[in-house]
Amino acid sequence: MKKIIFPLVCTTVLTACATYDTTDGSYRTTKAAHEAKLASHSVTHKIAFYSVECEKEVRGGSDEKFWYGDSSLRAKPKSNVGQDTEYRIELKPSSGYEHSVVTTTCVSATPIGTDCTWLNKSQQESVSKYMIFCVPDDVPIGASFKYDISVPTIGTLDPRIDVTW
């Protein structure tokens, strides 16, 4: 009985470490299965949805937060977006700053000549919690946008957006 238990335990453990791939009917180790899954994902494995702001179906979205209040501004210095997606900035004002106007203005785009007017917008958190931008589908992968995000009487930040997918 003891001679049978050890091989059964070993077989069970080894079987648990392998996965069955239904596409080609072969077994792969867990690491190989994970790498194959990553390779099979296209660049646009984000969830597509209908964007009310963009008035069309987009390939996904990217979310960031912008905190502002009494003499303070805070945002992520660099964000990644995809072509034909939504870029959303969640406005996070301190108490008493809900009616402050937040303005984004495109400063520069690389490659030179790339349109960045889609980044120009003003909004109050009291009107909508999110500033939603529609990243055009003709923006080249590798493009980079520098923009200012400002709140009157508080200041201005200059984050960047890179198109990576």
pLDDT in tens, 93-126: 999 999 999 999 999 999 999 999 999 999 999 9
**Which is it for strands 130-134 and 86-93: parallel, antiparallel or unpaired?**
antiparallel
pLDDT in tens, 141-161: 999 999 999 999 999 999 999
State the average pLDDT for the chain.
Answer: 84
Res 9: pLDDT: 64
Residues 6+ apart with CB under 8 A from 51: 57, 58, 61, 86, 132, 134
Over pLDDT 90: what percentage of the chain?
A: 71
Residues 6+ apart with CB under 8 A from 71: 154, 155
Over pLDDT 70: what percentage of the chain?
A: 72
Residues 6+ apart with CB under 8 A from 165: 43, 44, 46, 80, 81, 82, 83, 141
> What's the fold here for domain 49-163?
Immunoglobulin-like (2.60.40)
Distance (Å, whole) CA 137 – CA 59:
10
Distance (Å, whole) CA 88 – CA 53:
11
Question: Which sequence spans correspond to the domains of the chain?
Answer: 2-40, 49-163
Count of C-beta atoms within a 10 Å radius of residue 116: 20
Distance (Å, whole) CA 85 – CA 56:
10
Res 30: pLDDT: 58
- Interior/surface letters 121-151, b for 16+ CB within 10 angstroms, e for the rest: bebebeeeeebbbbbbeebeeebbbebebbb
Mean pLDDT score, 63-78: 96
Residues 6+ apart with CB under 8 A from 141: 83, 163, 164, 165
Give the pair of three-digit tokens for residue 103: 């303005």
